[in-house]
Structure 1
Amino acid sequence: MLTLYSYWRSTTSYRVRVALNLKGLSYRTVPVDLVAGDQRRPDYVALNPVQGVPTLVLEDGTALTQSLAILDYLDHVVPDPALLPSDPLLRAKVQAAAQIIALDIHPVNNLKVMNRLKSEHGASADQGIEWMRHWMTQGFHAYQALLPDGPAYSFSDTPLLCDICLVAQLYNAHRWGVDMTPFARLLEIEEQALKLPAFDAARPENQPDAT
C-alpha cells in the first residue's frame, strides 16, 4: 500500500490526498506534525531532505517528494481520470493556473518563510497574517482572470490539476481571513469540488491528525 506522510493543514498534502482519492488509490497516512518539528527528525529527513510534506512512499519503498511531481507521477501511472487535458493549449493554460497557486502563492506563505519573517525580521503575528493575505489576494486575482466562462470547474466540467491546487489554497484563505468578495467564481469552483467525495475526504478537518 502507498504511504503518505502528511500534515493535516498542509495545502500541499491536501493536493496529493485529493489526487489519490480521485485516482481511487488506497493509502495509509502517517502524520508529520510541522508545528512540533517532526519534519526535522533524522529518520524523516532521510525520506525528504527538504524537511517538508508531502512524501509519498511507494510499495517498493521509493520516496517521492514535492506535490506537483507526485501529482505528475500519479497522472502517469493512473491516467484516468486525467489531471491534465490532452490538448496542448488547454494543458498549458491549466498548468499556468496551477502554478499561480503552487509557485507564486504557496512558497512565500509557507511555514518556513513565516517563521523566518518573525524570528529574523521582527514581523508580528498580525503582520504575518497580512503578508499571507496580500499574496493570496494577488494570486487569486491572477488566477480568476485566466478563467473562461462556462465550465463547472476552472477549465472543464471535471476537476483538473489547477482545481486541486485552488481548493487546497482556498482552505488557507478562509483560515486566514482573506476577503473573498472579489472571487465569486473561485468560491463556486470550491463549492462544486467539495461536493465530490474525493475532495471531501481530503479536507484537513477529515484527517486523522486534525486537532
Structure 2
Amino acid sequence: MPIRLHDYWRSSAAYRVRIALHLKRVAYESVPIDLLTGAQRGDANRAVQPQGLLPALVVDGIAITQSLAILDWLDAVYPDPPLYPRDPLARAQTLARALVIAADIHPIDNLRVLKRLETQFGADQPAKDDWYRHWVIAGFDALEAMAPADGPFLGGAAPDVADLCLVPQMYNARRFAVPLAAYPRLVAADAAACALPAFAAAHPDRVARSTA
C-alpha cells in the first residue's frame, strides 16, 4: 500500500513516526510541510490534517493523524518489531512514559504555543526559552523516576513507543540548552536508541529540508 508522510524535518511528532517507519522497514514518501512558513495551515495539509498540524500518514488515500495513533496503526499492521508490550500492565506503564512527553511536555512547548506566548503576552525569546525549559524539566523529572533501572532503553532490552517519544524530545532539549545531568537514565536510553540505524536514519539532520 502506498504510504505518504506529511512531515517537517524538525517536528518532534513527525520524528517519532519516521523512527517507527524505519524500525519497521516500511517504505514511505515524505511530503515536506514547512512549519516556519505556516504551510501546515494551508489547504493542502488541512485536507488530510484538519487541525493544520503535523504529522499525517496517508495510506491508500486515507489519512491517519496524531503521532501516537499513527504509531498504534503501524504496530498493528507491521508488528515486527513491536512498539508495545503484550502484557497489559507493562503496556500501560509504557504508554504512561510515552504520554509524559507526548501529552504533557510537547503540546505546551510546540511552535504554536510559543508563538501565542509572544503575540498575546509579549514574551520575548528568553522568556519563551525559559517556558520551554520549565516544562521539559518538569516532565523529565518524572520520566527519570519512571524509567526502568535495567535499560538500556526505556523499553528495557529493546526500544518501545516511549523511546520513540524520548529521542525527539531529547533532541529539542539540547537545542534549548536544558541541563541533562540530573537524568542519567534518560541520557543513556537516548544514546542507546540513537546508536541504532533506524533512529539515525530518522534524525532531523538526515531529513530533506525542502518546503511544501
- Normalising by structure 2, we get a TM-score of 0.97
What is residue 84 of structure 2 aligned with on the other side?
Answer: 84
With over 3 angstroms needed to count, the CA separation of the structure-2 counterparts of 1:74 and 1:33, relative to structure 1, is same
Q: Distance in 1 between matches of 2:91 and 2:41?
A: 36
**Alignment: residue pair count:** 210
Residues 204 and 210 in structure 1, CA contact (< 8 A), matched pair in contact too: no
With over 3 angstroms needed to count, the CA separation of the structure-2 counterparts of 1:210 and 1:191, relative to structure 1, is farther
More displaced stretch, 173-182 vs 147-156: 147-156
What is residue 4 of structure 2 aligned with on the other side?
Answer: 3
What is residue 144 of structure 2 aligned with on the other side?
Answer: 144
What is residue 72 of structure 2 aligned with on the other side?
Answer: 72
Moved over 3 A (4+): none
* 2:53 partner amino acid: G
Give, in angstroms, the shift of residue 14 of structure 1: 0.3
Matches within 5 A, 1:97-108: 97-108=97-108
Residues 151 and 189 in structure 2, CA contact (< 8 A), matched pair in contact too: no
Give, in angstroms, the shift of residue 151 of structure 1: 2.1
Residues 100 and 143 in structure 2, CA contact (< 8 A), matched pair in contact too: yes
SS at match of 1:47: coil
What is residue 114 of structure 2 aligned with on the other side?
Answer: 114
Give, in angstroms, the shift of residue 210 of structure 1: 6.9
Q: How many percent identity over aligned positions?
A: 46
Q: Distance in 1 between matches of 2:50 and 2:87?
A: 35
* 1:111 partner amino acid: L
Q: Distance in 2 between matches of 1:43 and 1:93?
A: 37
Q: Distance in 1 between matches of 2:41 and 2:4?
A: 19
Q: Distance in 2 between matches of 1:105 and 1:75?
A: 24
CA RMSD of aligned residues (A): 1.1
What is residue 16 of structure 1 aligned with on the other side?
Answer: 17
With over 3 angstroms needed to count, the CA separation of the structure-2 counterparts of 1:210 and 1:150, relative to structure 1, is farther
Q: Distance in 1 between matches of 2:204 and 2:210?
A: 7
Give, in angstroms, the shift of residue 155 of structure 1: 3.4
Give, in angstroms, the shift of residue 30 of structure 1: 1.1
Question: Residue by residue, what CA displacement relative to the aligned partner does 1:141-165 show, whole Å, maximum 9, x if unpaired?
Answer: 1011012211211132100000110
Q: Distance in 1 between matches of 2:170 and 2:210?
A: 18
Give, in angstroms, the shift of residue 40 of structure 1: 1.5
Give, in angstroms, the shift of residue 46 of structure 1: 1.2
What is residue 183 of structure 1 aligned with on the other side?
Answer: 183
What is residue 52 of structure 1 aligned with on the other side?
Answer: 53
